[in-house]
Amino acid sequence: MKTFKIKNTILGEGVPKICVPIVAKTKEEAIEEAKSFADIKADLVELRIDWYDEVNDIKKVKDLLKDLQLILKDLPLLFTFRTAEEGGEKKITIEDYITLNKEAAKSGFVDLIDVEVFKGDEVVKDIIATAHQAGIKVVASNHDFDKTPAKDDIVYRLRKMQDLGADIPKIAVMPKSKFDVLELLEATLIMQEKYADRPIITMSMSGKGVISRLAGEVFGSCLTFGAAKKASAPGQIGVNELSNVLETIHKSSN
C-alpha cells in the first residue's frame, strides 16, 4: 500500500488522520476559523470554497489561500468546491469548475484538491494532470446523499477513481438502515484488501453512519472528518472527541 506524506502528515498508515473543514462565507470568518485550529488535534484542513461568497473572483480566492497557508503552516490544506449536485452550497458551470480547480492547484497555496469523479472522465483526467504537474495530490470524490449503493457499486466507484489517476479515492454515502452502514464498511474492506494500491477514504453519513467515521483503521479508510465549529456534512463529530476515540481503537487493535 502506497502512503503519502504531505507536509508532516502521512496518509495511509496508523491512526486515521483527522481533517477539519472551514465553512466560511467571508475571508474574515475563514481566517478566524483557521486561527482556532492551533488548539485542536487536526492533521489536515479542508477549505470548502463553495461556501465562500467571493468564489467567482479567482484573485480573491488566491489571496484567501495565501493567507490561510501562512496561518496553517505545517497543516496541509485540501481545496474543495463541493457542487450542489453532491451536497455543496453552490452550483457552478463545468468550465468554471475546471478553471477554479486548476488555478488553485497552480497557485502554490494548497496541498491537495478535491475533484468529483462524475464530472466526466476527461474533465477529471485534465484536472488531475494539471495538479500533478504542479506537485499537488488529488482526492477524487463521490457523495451520494440519497442512498447507499450496493457494495459492488461502491468498489466500482473507488476503483474508477484509482484508474483515473487520483491519489486518494473518496466516497461518502447516506445510510437508510444499519445494514447500509455494514455495506459501506464491507465495500471499504474489499477495496482495501483486494484492489487499492493507495490510501482510500470512505464514510457513511448521518448519525446512523457515525461508526464508519471511527473505525477507519479497522476497515481501511485513511482519513476521517471532524468538526471544529461547524460541520460540513451530516454525522461529523467534534475533532477532539474524535481524536480520543481513534487513539483508543488504535491502542486496542495493535
C-alpha cell at 136: 499537488
Instruction: Please state the residue numbers annotated as binding site.
Output: 46-48, 82, 213, 232, 236
What's the pLDDT tens digit per position in 9-20?
999 999 999 999
Residue 135 has pLDDT above 70, yes or no: yes
User: Is 49 among the domain residues?
Assistant: yes
Report yes or no on 81 lying in a domain: yes
What pLDDT score does 238 carry? 80
**What pLDDT is attached to residue 137?**
98
3 within some domain = no
Query: In the prediction, which pLDDT does 227 show?
Result: 81
Confidence of residue 236 (pLDDT cuts 50, 70, 90): low
Residue 130 in any domain: the answer is yes
Q: How many domains does the chain have?
A: 1
Q: What is the pLDDT of residue 41?
A: 87
Residue 77 maps to a domain? yes
User: What cell numbers appear for 73 in the block?
Assistant: 503552516
**Is 11 domain-assigned?**
no
Question: Does the reported pTM lie above 0.85?
Answer: yes
What angle, 0 to 180 degrees and rounded to 10, lies between the N-to-C axes of helices 178-190 and 151-163?
40
**For 128-155, what is the mean pLDDT?**
98
User: pLDDT band at residue 237, thresholds of 50, 70 and 90?
Assistant: confident
Span 165-200, pLDDT tens digits = 999 999 999 999 999 999 999 999 999 999 999 999
Evaluate whether residue 192 is within a structural domain. yes
Which residues are identified as catalytic? 143, 170
- Residue 90, C-beta contacts closer than 8 angstroms, at least 6 positions apart: 50, 55, 81, 83, 84
Of the candidates 67, 75, 85, which has an alpha carbon nearest to the alpha carbon of residue 46? 75
Average pLDDT rounded to a whole number, residues 6-10: 95
Predicted local confidence at residue 186, as pLDDT: 98
- pLDDT tens for 207-218 read 999 999 999 999
Q: What is the mean pLDDT of the chain?
A: 94
Q: Which residues constitute the domain of residue 208? A: 16-248
Three cell numbers at 251?
A: 491502542
Please enumerate, by residue number, every residue annotated as part of a binding site for 3-dehydroquinate. Answer: 46-48, 82, 213, 232, 236
Query: Which CATH number do you get for residue 29?
Result: 3.20.20.70
Any domain includes 7: no
Q: Which residue has the higher pLDDT, 154 or 41?
A: 154
Q: Are strands 237-238 and 223-227 parallel, antiparallel or unpaired?
A: parallel
